[in-house]
Structure 1
Amino acid sequence: MDERVDILDEQGNPTGASCLKSEAHRKGLLHPTIHVWLYTKDGRVLLQQRGKYKDTHPLLWDVSVAGHVSSGEDIEWAAVREVQEEVGLTISKKDLESIGTYKAIHKISEDFVDAELHHIFLCKLSVPINELTKQDSEVDDLELIPLFKFAEETWGLANMAKYVPHGPTYYKKIVQEIKKRL
């Protein structure tokens, strides 16, 4: 869906401008997104395999839930909405724990620069994975893996080709923040 997104300055502040997501990608304009990492109390993290028809990183494993923040939309409400859409889980804003932001710029092609400010949240997953319903157009598969395995594969770069290339610094932050809560 080609929704409108708000444009941010280099420091992540709203500029007051908005445009279609496709235009923001074409021009490399910084815009807000959400990342929600779902984890279990026994130390597993939910990974999403991106849909095979995604414009970026098809079939790679990624954050539990990710999405764009629509123009004028509250960041936390965007996170709640995306969790419901992508994995069929109903949560509330109070279930989200913000762990900061992460600026990522990936040049996909000459006319596609993904310039995003990820608002990152943790959320405890308290239902079995078989109760989740993946959004077929966005998500190919879901998997719960032990946090230590996830850390090995992303920190140690043992299996980075399996994952969206957020980089070791990003992945270390996620693992460390989840580990603090176990």
Structure 2
Amino acid sequence: MDEWVDILDAEGRYTGEKILKSEAHQNGLFHPTVHIWFFTSEREILLQQRAGNKKTFPLYWDASVAGHIAAGEVVLKGAVREVEEEIGLKIKANALQPVGVFKSIQQHHSGLLDCEFHHTFICLLTEPVHALQKQKEEVEALKLMPLSIWEKDLFSNSPSLSYVPHQEAYYREVINAIRKRS
């Protein structure tokens, strides 16, 4: 679904302009997104397998929830909205613990240059995975994995799953943030 997004400069500052997401991707313009990593009190991470129809990284494993911030939308409000849309979970903004904002540039193919600033959060998952409701257009599957096993697999030379290739520093920040809070 195409939606309006705010345009950011190369430092992540809002320019005051908005554009359709498809045009931002076509023209390589920076825009804000959210990533929410859910973890359990047993130190498990909730991974999301992206739907097979996604234009980028179909069927790859990624953050529990990820999505674009709508033009004019406050980041926390967008994060809460994305969580409810993608996994059917209603949370309050104060449940989200910020990890950081990460600049990401990914050239997918000649018509898609994804330039984003990922506003990244962690959040304690208090519901069982079977109670979550996947948005079929976005989510193929959900899976809990012990944090230590995920970390080893993620940085392995031959991982058991195909993960979205975020920068190593990004993944390390997420892992460290969860370790501090679980």
Q: Which TM class, normalised by the smaller chain length?
A: over 0.9
Structure 1: which amino acid aligns with 2:3?
A: E
Q: Which moved more, 1:116-125 or 1:155-164?
A: 155-164
Q: Cα distance, 1:168 vs. partner?
A: 1.7
Matches within 5 A, 1:8-157: 8-157=8-157
Structure 1: which amino acid aligns with 2:66?
A: A
Helix, strand or coil at the partner of 1:37: strand
Please report the TM-score for the alignment, with normalisation by the length of structure 2: 0.97
* Partner residue, 1:175: 175
Instruction: Determine the C-alpha separation between the residues in 2 that align with 1:118 and 1:88.
Output: 21
In structure 2, the gaps of 5 or more residues are none
Instruction: Determine the C-alpha separation between the residues in 1 that align with 2:160 and 2:54.
Output: 19
Kept in 2: contact 1:38–1:45 (CA 8 A): yes
Q: Percent identity?
A: 46
Helix, strand or coil at the partner of 1:163: coil
Instruction: Determine the C-alpha separation between the residues in 1 that align with 2:65 and 2:46.
Output: 9
Kept in 1: contact 2:61–2:161 (CA 8 A): no
Instruction: Determine the C-alpha separation between the residues in 2 that align with 1:158 and 1:64.
Output: 22
Give every structure 1 segment of 4 or more consecutive aligned residues whose post-TM-superposition deviation is greater than 2 Å: 155-158
Q: Cα distance, 1:156 vs. partner?
A: 3.8
Distance 1:98 1:19, change over 3 A: same
Kept in 1: contact 2:50–2:59 (CA 8 A): yes
Kept in 2: contact 1:49–1:142 (CA 8 A): yes
Please report the TM-score for the alignment, with normalisation by the length of structure 1: 0.97
Q: Cα distance, 1:161 vs. partner?
A: 6.0
In structure 1, the gaps of 5 or more residues are none
Q: Which moved more, 1:157-166 or 1:99-108?
A: 157-166
Instruction: Determine the C-alpha separation between the residues in 2 that align with 1:161 and 1:146.
Output: 14
Instruction: Determine the C-alpha separation between the residues in 1 that align with 2:26 and 2:95.
Output: 34
Q: Deviations over 1:124-156 (max 9, x none)?
A: 000111110000010000000000011101234
Q: Tell me the C-alpha RMSD between the 2 structures.
A: 1.1
Instruction: Determine the C-alpha separation between the residues in 1 that align with 2:177 and 2:94.
Output: 18
